[in-house]
């Protein structure tokens, strides 16, 4: 038996045979051609075919993993038409008189190395995308499949890395788990695997690829990040027990559907869900969340090539509110900036984007964008129970400006005879140390606080949340963060605000008891964590010493 250690992306256990993911011969030969223009026409036909394939993959992804995750394939379609990329290929064909396959493969390497050398991690990730689309065009030029078809039985797919299109194209019914030598936990592939709910391990290192062959027996432990190759009997039976226990736990958790989030001594807490798109509502309902505690509305903007109109936004907010059938829905206004970049906003580069022009700062500086979103939100408010929340607040003046813009929007809607709920709750995220420290001054202005522990932790501990090197320094349980949470909760309650937590810490069940003792009213977590947190709440006795 051999054991390899990587990082678990999706917590579950899979046992079965390995299938090494094979890309079919991608080697490209160089030929001299006579008619460059005919070769360029051949290239254009192949690009068309590649785009048709990608649009079919997009439809499949839309169905399996939702719009936000599927949008990568729309980006791929756009990349195929990128001017610089195309000009480069055509120029290679024309100046070197070479075949299109060769020109695409040269452009692929040039663009991939250019992206990899960039400072920005988002741009670095584009290297994999440009390789992916180039391989597709080359396959279309040569009329070949890109990779082998999977065997009939379910298998553990092992690869150096998987491109997003490869992950989605694989028949989900035949995949027990994904295991890759490279990759990061925030890569699109990892996100897709998580959303497809397939156990996945990443970053096992290159050596692992030399050790595996098709048909080898393996166990994937998505909890510990371990892969057991040809496991011995002891490991096999230990892992079988762990798998059974996990399955039983999942079944048990589903038995908690319909049950209260009440501690043994009778204290109730709301458990809501965080989402980024309408497609995730199915999962919110399936996991029996009491409402939506954070709808990250910026994803609507990130999925588009231009500002979403009032009508587009209205129809989305309405859909969310109608689907939640009277349960509370907290929609956060645009939180663009920092790692969430949106080209058409024309924000330019910043030295420190996390400390930069983002979220409410953009909204207050560009009130037309803000007002459009607020109009859509207020108009949708009659279709359910809406609360509006504002991100990245640091001071009283900001909140006063936000509230006066809300008043203005309401007055305009009223004058136009538009229906809206006059009592929509307004709240702010407490995700800067400044907001937490002056929470007693902010609380009288609003109806609720929702603590964004992801940003609150990064700003309090001065640890960039995007930088994996800082993981050892980023103590999410740090006393400074805990004190700010306590202070915020106390200040909110003394002015009649309800106080929730919507950062990742809300799902940390080692802190649930502490949060309840502090008096937190609501925990908003990813849909798949709702029942796990409910289970924890129901086991707590706050009266016990």
Decide: is 453 part of the binding site for ligand PEP (CB under 6 A): yes
- φ/ψ (deg, to 5) at 26: -95, 5
- Residue number, 502 or 507, with CB nearest to ligand PEP: 502
Decide: is 455 part of the binding site for ligand PEP (CB under 6 A): yes
Within 13 A of 507's CA, how many CA atoms are on the CB side? 16
Decide: is 6 part of the binding site for ligand PEP (CB under 6 A): no
Stretch that binds ligand PEP, among 31-39, 280-288, 437-445, 448-456 (CB under 6 A): 448-456
Nearest approach, Cβ of residue 121 and ligand PEP (Å): 16
Helices (runs of H) and strands (runs of E) counted in the chain: 20, 16
Of Mg ion, ligand PEP, none, which one does residue 522 interact with (CB within 5 to 8 Å by kind)?
Answer: none
Decide: is 431 part of the binding site for Mg ion (CB under 5 A): yes
- Residue number, 465 or 538, with CB nearest to Mg ion: 465
- List the catalytic residue out of 19, 76, 140, 188: 188
Q: Which residue is nearest to Mg ion (CB)?
A: 455
Interface pick for ligand PEP out of 231, 452, 492, 527 (rule CB under 6 A): 452
Interface pick for ligand PEP out of 296, 379, 532, 534 (rule CB under 6 A): 296
Decide: is 503 part of the binding site for ligand PEP (CB under 6 A): yes
Measure the CA–CA gap between 195 and 69, rounded to whole angstroms.
Answer: 8
Which residues, 6 or more positions from 182, have their beta carbon under 8 angstroms from its beta carbon? 160, 161, 202, 203
Measure the CA–CA gap between 195 and 187, rounded to whole angstroms.
Answer: 12
Which residues, 6 or more positions from 367, have their beta carbon under 8 angstroms from its beta carbon? 405
Stretch that binds ligand PEP, among 115-123, 161-169, 446-454, 534-542 (CB under 6 A): 446-454
Of ligand PEP, Mg ion, none, which one does residue 291 interact with (CB within 5 to 8 Å by kind)?
Answer: none
Interface pick for ligand PEP out of 431, 508, 522, 535 (rule CB under 6 A): 431
Of ligand PEP, Mg ion, none, which one does residue 503 interact with (CB within 5 to 8 Å by kind)?
Answer: ligand PEP
Interface pick for Mg ion out of 74, 455, 508, 535 (rule CB under 5 A): 455
Active site residue 363: no
- Residue number, 294 or 516, with CB nearest to ligand PEP: 294
Q: For strand 425-430 and strand 385-390, is the pairing parallel, antiparallel, or unpaired?
A: parallel
CA dihedral 159, 163, 168, 169 (to 10 degrees): -80
Q: For strand 522-525 and strand 270-275, is the pairing parallel, antiparallel, or unpaired?
A: parallel
Which residues, 6 or more positions from 302, have their beta carbon under 8 angstroms from its beta carbon? 68, 71, 336, 340, 342
Which residues, 6 or more positions from 389, have their beta carbon under 8 angstroms from its beta carbon? 294, 330, 331, 332, 333, 426, 427, 428, 429, 448, 450
Nearest approach, Cβ of residue 458 and Mg ion (Å): 9
Distance of CA 400 to the CA centre of its chain: 32
- φ/ψ (deg, to 5) at 501: -125, 130
Decide: is 452 part of the binding site for Mg ion (CB under 5 A): yes
Nearest approach, Cβ of residue 451 and Mg ion (Å): 10
Active site residue 158: no
With left for phi above 0 and alpha for psi between -120 and 50, is residue 276 left, alpha or beta? Answer: alpha
Residues belonging to the active site: 188, 502
Question: Residue numbers of the site for Mg ion (CB under 5 A)?
Answer: 431, 452, 455
Question: Residue numbers of the site for ligand PEP (CB under 6 A)?
Answer: 294, 296, 335, 431, 452-455, 502-503
């Amino acid at each position: 038996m051999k054991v390899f250690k990587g990082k678990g992306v999706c917590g579950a256990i899979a046992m079965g045979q390995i299938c090494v993911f094979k890309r079919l011969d991608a080697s490209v030969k160089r030929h001299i051609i006579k008619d460059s223009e005919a070769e360029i026409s051949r290239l254009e036909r192949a690009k068309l075919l590649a785009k048709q394939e990608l649009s079919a993959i997009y439809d499949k992804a839309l169905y399996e993993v939702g719009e936000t995750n599927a949008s990568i394939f729309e980006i791929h379609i756009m990349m195929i038409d990128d001017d610089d990329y195309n000009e480069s290929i055509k120029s290679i064909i024309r100046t070197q008189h070479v075949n299109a396959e060769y020109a695409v493969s040269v452009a692929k390497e040039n663009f991939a190395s250019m992206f990899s050398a960039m400072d920005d991690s988002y741009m670095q990730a584009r290297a994999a995308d440009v390789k992916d689309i180039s391989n597709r065009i080359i396959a279309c030029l040569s009329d070949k499949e890109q990779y082998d078809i999977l065997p009939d039985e379910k298998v553990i797919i092992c690869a150096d890395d998987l491109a997003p299109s490869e992950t989605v194209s694989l028949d989900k019914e035949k995949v027990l788990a994904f295991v890759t030598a490279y990759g990061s936990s925030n890569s699109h592939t990892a996100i897709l695997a998580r959303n497809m709910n397939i156990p996945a391990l990443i970053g096992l290192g290159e050596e692992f690829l030399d050790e595996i062959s098709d048909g080898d027996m393996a166990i994937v432990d998505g909890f510990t990040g371990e892969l057991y190759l040809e496991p011995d009997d002891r490991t096999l039976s230990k892992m079988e027990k762990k798998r059974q226990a996990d399955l039983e736990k999942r079944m048990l958790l589903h038995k908690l559907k319909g049950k209260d989030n009440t501690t043994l001594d009778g204290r109730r807490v709301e458990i809501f869900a965080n989402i980024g798109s309408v497609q995730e509502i199915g999962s919110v309902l399936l996991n029996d969340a009491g409402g939506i505690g954070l709808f990250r509305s910026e994803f609507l903007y990130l999925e588009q090539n231009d500002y979403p109109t009032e009508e587009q936004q209205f129809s989305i907010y309405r859909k969310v509110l109608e689907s939640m059938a009277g349960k509370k829905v907290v929609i956060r206004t645009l939180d663009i900036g920092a790692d969430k970049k949106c080209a058409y906003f024309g924000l330019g580069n910043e030295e420190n984007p996390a400390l930069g022009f983002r979220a409410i700062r953009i909204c207050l500086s560009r009130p037309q964008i803000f007002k459009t979103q607020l109009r859509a939100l207020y108009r949708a408010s009659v279709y359910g129970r809406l609360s509006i929340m504002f991100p990245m607040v640091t001071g009283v003046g900001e909140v006063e400006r936000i509230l006066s813009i809300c008043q203005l929007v309401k007055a305009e809607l009223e004058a136009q005879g538009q229906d809206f709920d006059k009592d929509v709750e307004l709240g702010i995220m407490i995700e800067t140390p400044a907001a937490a420290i002056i929470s007693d001054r902010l609380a009288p202005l609003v109806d609720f606080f929702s603590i964004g522990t992801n940003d609150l932790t990064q700003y309090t501990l001065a640890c960039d949340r995007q930088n994996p090197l800082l993981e050892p320094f980023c103590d999410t349980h740090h006393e400074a963060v805990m004190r700010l949470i306590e202070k915020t909760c106390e200040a909110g309650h003394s002015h009649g605000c309800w106080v929730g937590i919507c950062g990742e810490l809300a799902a940390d069940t080692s802190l649930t008891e502490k949060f309840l003792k502090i008096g937190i009213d609501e925990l908003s977590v990813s849909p798949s964590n709702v029942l796990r947190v409910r289970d924890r709440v129901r086991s707590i006795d706050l009266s016990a010493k």
